[in-house]
A and B are shown apart, each in its own frame.
Chain A
């Protein structure tokens, strides 16, 4: 326990230092945050323009889609703000920075996670808050303590699902070095498929996105539960409650995989 507390303290120290570094580039701060917001915002602008004409998509109104979209975005921002640096693993290996990290008495993943100067995650976060704000003011939501508690757990679970993908790819990176394209594909697929009501697809596609590529767990299934829309799911409704467990499980598996791969690390010859 003391060990975990120490790791968390060190993680927070390193993350603060990284943020202080990012803040030195004053002119770039606003641009990066705006860019992060524009990336996610353009997706929501699409939904908004669509619903302006049609009112509903597959039975989902603006408030409900905003809730789903905002929930996904909160999970996305949460994992990015905490683990963003993990995406730099290719570079860290190529430049030999990982060799240095292995010698320090701090968890390697935690060191990787904190070596970043990107402020894009805070753009994602600001957009997540905006979209969620729209949802809260438009949609009719259940604000009982149980429902709010589940919402919080589901957002954390969703963040762990997306984070587990990043950590798994980081594991592959130790072996194959160049994983940029795979990362781009995986995250784009999650961005694209995770934010919209998957009931627009047939039941086969819904099942694939639940059991094979668990994108549905990030936001679609838990949002269906919170919004009381489990009636139109092609998978059992109780799966909607499983997001926190699925997140914790996948993240644990991904972390174990990363540790295993790291044991076989050979470096690139520095």
Chain B
């Protein structure tokens, strides 16, 4: 029980840290809203005159893009930066000497900071709906499956973030790989283009990678593009990815832990 209390303290700290940087929150909101305005207009201009393209109406595409842009905000996190700066300064020594697992501590930080992000995105959803476009979920099942898909996507993204962060134990600086992850993953996750519009080979690639479960899967379930067996199959596959990535994080952490000793703090 006390372990759980320890992690909760981390979540609370992350919330407090995030709330200190209010102008950053404002900036992320403005950035997201401007993007929603642009991306939905670009798509509307592209659809011009056509009712349905690749099985999607313009209306549901706009809803998809609005939701996807809000969801994709979760990919942008300061946790990788926190990890690398503590490796650089040696403060990581305090993290690992605590009686809580290091990966767990970082996951709790990510959870706390996501809570604020999610709360903010929920607050601006009405504005996002005005600038882009929103409607109710495609049906009752879609409405029930959407939050499940979101949670699975969050866990996947948190594990990927952790892996990127851990790279700092080898390279000290991880700004490059963080930026690379943020943009490549967001694109392959379907944040700007629903996967069904991807040209052949790119679509195969995006479907083979786990990123699509972070953005595409939930939003596509919401608009009814993915449903029934396909949605459940997606859940099974994302669970499998979560197990694999958790294993990789565990292994990587064991090796990283040995590196810190070499590093000397």
Q: Contact between B54 and A53 (Cβ–Cβ < 8 Å)?
A: yes
Place the interface of chain B in its size category. 35 or more
Q: Contact between B34 and A188 (Cβ–Cβ < 8 Å)?
A: yes
Mask of A1-44 contacts with B, CB within 8 angstroms, 1/0: 00000000000000000000000010110011011101101100
- Stretch of A189-197, A241-249, A258-266 on the interface side: A189-197
- Mostly, the B contact residues are helix
Chain B residues in 8 Å Cβ range of A41: 183
User: A189 CA to B48 CA in the complex, in Å?
Assistant: 25
Mask of B34-50 contacts with A, CB within 8 angstroms, 1/0: 11001101111111100
- Stretch of B5-13, B132-140, B195-203, B242-250 on the interface side: B195-203
Q: Choose among B34, B180, B183, B199 the residue that contacts A189 (Cβ–Cβ < 8 A).
A: B34
User: Which residues of chain B in 174-215 are interfacial with respect to chain A, using CB atoms and an 8 Å cutoff?
Assistant: 175-180, 183-184, 186-187, 192-193, 197-199, 202
- Rounded to whole Å, the gap between the CB of B25 and the closest CB of chain A is 9
User: A52 CA to B196 CA in the complex, in Å?
Assistant: 12
Interface-centre pick from A52, A178, A199 (highest chain B CB count, 10 A): A52
Q: Choose among A35, A46, A181, A188 the residue that contacts B24 (Cβ–Cβ < 8 A).
A: A181
Identify 25 residue pairs between A and B in the complex whose beta-carbon atoms are under 8 Å apart, listed by A's number.
A25-B173, A28-B171, A32-B176, A35-B177, A35-B178, A39-B179, A42-B186, A42-B192, A46-B193, A50-B46, A52-B199, A56-B46, A180-B24, A181-B27, A182-B23, A182-B27, A184-B24, A184-B27, A184-B31, A185-B26, A185-B27, A192-B34, A192-B35, A200-B41, A200-B44
B contact residues vs A (CB 8 Å cutoff): 23-24, 26-27, 30-31, 34-35, 38-39, 41-48, 53-54, 171, 173, 175-180, 183-184, 186-187, 192-193, 197-199, 202
